[in-house]
A and B are shown apart, each in its own frame.
Chain A
Amino acid sequence: MAVASPTVTLAAIINLNHPAAYAHWGFFQMSVPNLVVIGLMIVVFAAAIALPFPGSRRRRSRS
């Protein structure tokens, strides 16, 4: 059995060496990678609003 080099192992996490899959609903068409990025941005945006900032509670209680 061939042993994969560290480089091959890293590259094999997600195989990008092929055309992207596309989501298609009616007139709407977008590549899955673009959808993933937009989804991640929405998640990070929501987390930035919802998660407490380090030290903010301590400062608020002190004032």
Chain B
Amino acid sequence: MSAVDKPSWTARVREAGVRAMPPERLLPDTQPAYMSSWIYIFGVLTIAALVIIIFSGSVLGLKGPAWWHYTGIGHFFNSIHLWAVELFFFFMVIHLWGKFFMAAWRGGRGRTWMSGAITFLTSIAAAFTGYVSQQNFDSQWIATQAKDGLNSTGIGAFFNVLNFGQMYTYHVLLLPVVVIALVSAHILLVRRTGIVPPLPLGELAIHAPAADPPGAGATESAA
């Protein structure tokens, strides 16, 4: 085979991507009928809150601490950012409860479950670094209390929660990148393995059979 006939690395990557995630599975025409329940909306509500967090956080980062402390519009965006975080965790915890009680790791969905769990833990770290980056007495109190707690575990050797520059970098760059990457992987895994169906009536979660892949069984038009 000549060099001309050999597929380039870009073609190989494209083919591998299409094999792993066919377009009809990435953006399906239909969704399973069992998704007609309010309990299935909390994942997308969490993502909506994350979008608002990123937008309001970007504005706060562009304007800086003096703006968010001393101007009316700065207070407004500060509050938008805070309440979006509150809603983010509110929706994410209900999403977690719903998926826990329907044993959402069934049917080869273990990686989806674990990526969600790691996203939850990473989000706590992202929120914490936000609380200590406020530049007020509240953030000083939280940072000093957290410093004692973290030092007692030994993890305080790796970072200093009293260091505003360090915590701010974690908050506006490092942890958001990790959270967005994890959420993206989580969504792709959900698309790949399909939405977990409810548990069969009269059976324990541990004995529940694996779900059929998406496309099998009853479907309805996507909203």
Q: Is the CB of A49 within 8 A of B33?
A: no
Residue tally, chain B, CB below 8 Å to A: 15
CB distance from B145 to the nearest CB of A (A): 14
B42: interface (CB < 8 Å): yes
Contact with B along A20-63 (1 / 0, CB 8 A): 00000000000000000100110011011101010110011001
Most A-side CB within 10 Å, residue of B37, B38, B41: B38
Q: How far is the CA of A10 from the CA of B19 in the complex (A)?
A: 55
Task: Please tell me which one of the listed residues B33, B94, B220 contacts residue A44 in the complex, with CB atoms under 8 A apart.
Answer: B94
Number of A-B contacts (CB under 8 A): 38
**A63 with B33, Cβ < 8 A, contacts A48-B39, A53-B38 known:** yes
Q: How far is the CA of A41 from the CA of B92 in the complex (A)?
A: 10
**A48 with B98, Cβ < 8 A, contacts A41-B90, A41-B93, A53-B38 known:** yes
CB distance from B8 to the nearest CB of A (A): 47
Q: Is the CB of B94 within 8 A of A41?
A: yes
Chain A residues with CB below 8 A from B37, complex form: 48-49, 53, 56
B218: interface (CB < 8 Å): yes
**A48 with B42, Cβ < 8 A, contacts A56-B36, A56-B37 known:** yes
Majority SS of interface residues in chain A? helix
Chain B residues with CB below 8 A from A37, complex form: 86, 90
CB distance from A62 to the nearest CB of B (A): 9
CB distance from B113 to the nearest CB of A (A): 18
B159: interface (CB < 8 Å): no
Q: Is the CB of A59 within 8 A of B36?
A: yes
Q: Is the CB of A48 within 8 A of B33?
A: no
Q: Is the CB of A59 within 8 A of B90?
A: no
Q: How far is the CA of A63 from the CA of B30 in the complex (A)?
A: 15
CB distance from B169 to the nearest CB of A (A): 29
Q: Is the CB of B218 within 8 A of A51?
A: no
Q: How far is the CA of A53 from the CA of B42 in the complex (A)?
A: 13
Q: Which residue of B lies closest to A49 (CB)?
A: B39
Q: Is the CB of B94 within 8 A of A45?
A: yes
Q: Which residue of B lies closest to A55 (CB)?
A: B36
B97: interface (CB < 8 Å): yes
In the complex, besides A53-B38, A56-B37, 13 extra interface pairs with C-beta distance below 8 angstroms are: A37-B90, A40-B90, A41-B90, A44-B90, A44-B94, A45-B39, A45-B97, A48-B38, A48-B39, A53-B37, A55-B36, A59-B33, A60-B33
Interface positions of B (Cβ within 8 A of A): 33, 36-39, 41-42, 86, 90, 93-94, 97-98, 218, 220
Interface positions of A (Cβ within 8 A of B): 37, 40-41, 44-45, 47-49, 51, 53, 55-56, 59-60, 63
Can you report 5 residue pairs joining A to B where beta carbons are below 8 Å apart?
A40-B90, A41-B97, A45-B97, A59-B36, A60-B36
